[in-house]
Amino acid sequence: MSALEDIEAIKQLKARYFRLMDTKQWDAWADVFTEDATVTASPDPDETFRGRAEIVRKVSAALREATTVHHGHMPEIELTSATTATGGWAMEDMLRWPDGREMHGYGHYHETYEKVGGAWRIKSSKLTRLRTDFTQASQR
């Protein structure tokens, strides 16, 4: 696989990450991660989810009732070996809960990737937020 094909495969991986999360296909979403992946994306920047099973359990519970839309833009991907890479993505997300609360956020994903069994997977992901706007149900 050429460097450009690897980079495109990582872009496709991240697109699946967003689509499967927003459509709540948790079993398929789990497959975008390595078994030992780490994710730091909760409201608490010091909380890290460790391992594919914990990532899926925690994220699916947090988003169970929410309608979500996640977008990733402007990828910066660097291959660091034949089986590893780093990447950054500008992001925007919208979350709406049944009670009318909404969150609109902006920031960046900082990630590492690993090729496992010939397929790229997310090894680590850290979401840093630049801005988060909240709307309460009574403000709508």
CATH number for the domain that contains residue 28: 3.10.450.50
Structural domains of the chain, count: 1
The answer to whether position 55 is within a domain reads: yes
pLDDT in tens, the chain (140 residues): 799 999 999 999 999 999 999 999 999 999 999 999 999 987 777 889 999 999 999 999 999 999 999 999 999 999 999 999 999 999 999 999 999 999 999 999 999 999 999 999 999 999 999 999 999 876 55
Cα dihedral across residues 96, 102, 108, 112: positive or negative: negative
pTM above 0.75, yes or no: yes
Which backbone phi and psi does 90 adopt, to 5 degrees?
-70, 145
Q: Token pair of 99, please?
A: 């009670």
139 CB-near residues (< 8 Å, 6+ apart): none
The answer to whether position 137 is within a domain reads: no
The answer to whether position 82 is within a domain reads: yes
The answer to whether position 27 is within a domain reads: yes
Residue-range definition of the domain harbouring residue 56: 3-130
